[in-house]
């Protein structure tokens, strides 16, 4: 898993509440067996028209948001089904951080397992950021060490579970955490084999 320390980049605004995982990555694209390549299908039904041409009205197709690494959205982002593919698609597209007032629980948990930082800023601060970026599109900095979101004329602190913070800072998913104990696991298995005369 990629570590997350600080991300400074273009922040795209998505002025929508209740963005569900079926819109983030529609179900017809879940047949892939790899964890990569989902970025091209991100928000597919919104990004493209019926002829598969880019929809100029969709937020992420706006030229000022080209290459965005931060997405700022509204309430209950990531609701719907529990598909982990939604986070894979965001990450593969280049979105390393999603800022919203709040998140659906399963999506929020999946972000931490896949190196994407979900920042719950609450409605007031999220709206303040929306208003600022709506007047003047600009880069935003998300600093996990300091737990801050900053832009020109904006600063907000966010809360994060200390364990999850450390995992993101060091790029540790569940497998990575387990592999930290690889020497002890191997020593236990070797001792067990000797004790029970396994071969």
- Please report the pLDDT score of residue 31 as a whole number: 86
Q: Long-range pairs for 195-199 at CB < 8 Å and ≥24 separation?
A: none
Q: Is the pTM of this model over 0.85?
A: yes
Positive or negative torsion for Cα 38, 43, 45, 50: negative
DSSP class of residue 186?
H
- Please report the pLDDT score of residue 110 as a whole number: 96
Closest CA to 103 of 19, 197, 9: 19
Give the CA distances from residue 47 to residues 20, 40, 75, in Å, rounded to whole numbers and listed in that order: 15, 10, 21
Tokens standing for residue 15: 């002025």
| CB atoms inside a 10 Å sphere around CB 177 | 12
Closest CA to 15 of 64, 67, 63, 58: 58
Alpha helices in the chain (DSSP H): 21-24, 44-47, 85-93, 105-113, 122-135, 162-170, 174-179, 182-195
Q: What is the three-class DSSP state of 121?
A: coil
Q: What does the alpha-carbon distance between residue 75 and residue 123 come to, in Å, rounded to a whole number?
A: 8
Sole residue written with tokens 């601060």: 125
Query: Which residue ranges of the chain lie beneath pLDDT 70?
Result: 174-199
Angle at 78 between CA 6 and CA 15, to 5 degrees: 80
Contact 68, 12 (CB under 8 A): yes
Maximum distance among all alpha carbons in the chain?
A: 72
User: Could you tell me the domains of the chain?
Assistant: 6-171 (3.20.19.10)
Q: How many residues does the chain have?
A: 199
144-171: per-residue pLDDT in tens?
999 999 999 899 999 999 999 999 999 8
């Amino acid at each position: 898993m990629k570590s997350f320390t600080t991300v400074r980049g273009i922040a795209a605004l998505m002025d929508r509440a209740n963005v569900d995982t079926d819109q983030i990555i529609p179900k017809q694209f879940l047949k892939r067996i790899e964890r990569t390549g989902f970025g091209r299908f991100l928000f597919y039904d919104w990004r493209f028209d019926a002829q598969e041409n880019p929809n100029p009205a969709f937020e992420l197709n706006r030229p000022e948001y080209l290459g965005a690494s931060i997405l700022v959205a509204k309430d209950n982002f990531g609701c719907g089904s529990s598909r982990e593919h939604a986070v894979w698609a965001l990450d593969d597209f280049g979105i390393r951080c999603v800022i919203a007032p709040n998140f659906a629980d399963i999506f929020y948990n999946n972000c931490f397992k896949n190196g994407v930082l979900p920042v719950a800023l609450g409605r007031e601060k999220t709206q303040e950021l929306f208003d600022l970026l709506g007047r003047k599109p600009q880069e935003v900095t998300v600093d996990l060490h300091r737990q801050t979101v900053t832009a020109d004329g904006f600063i907000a602190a966010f809360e994060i579970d200390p364990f999850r913070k450390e995992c993101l800072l060091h790029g540790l998913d569940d497998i990575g955490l387990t592999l930290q104990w690889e020497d002890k696991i191997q020593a236990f298995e070797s001792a067990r084999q000797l004790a029970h005369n396994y071969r």
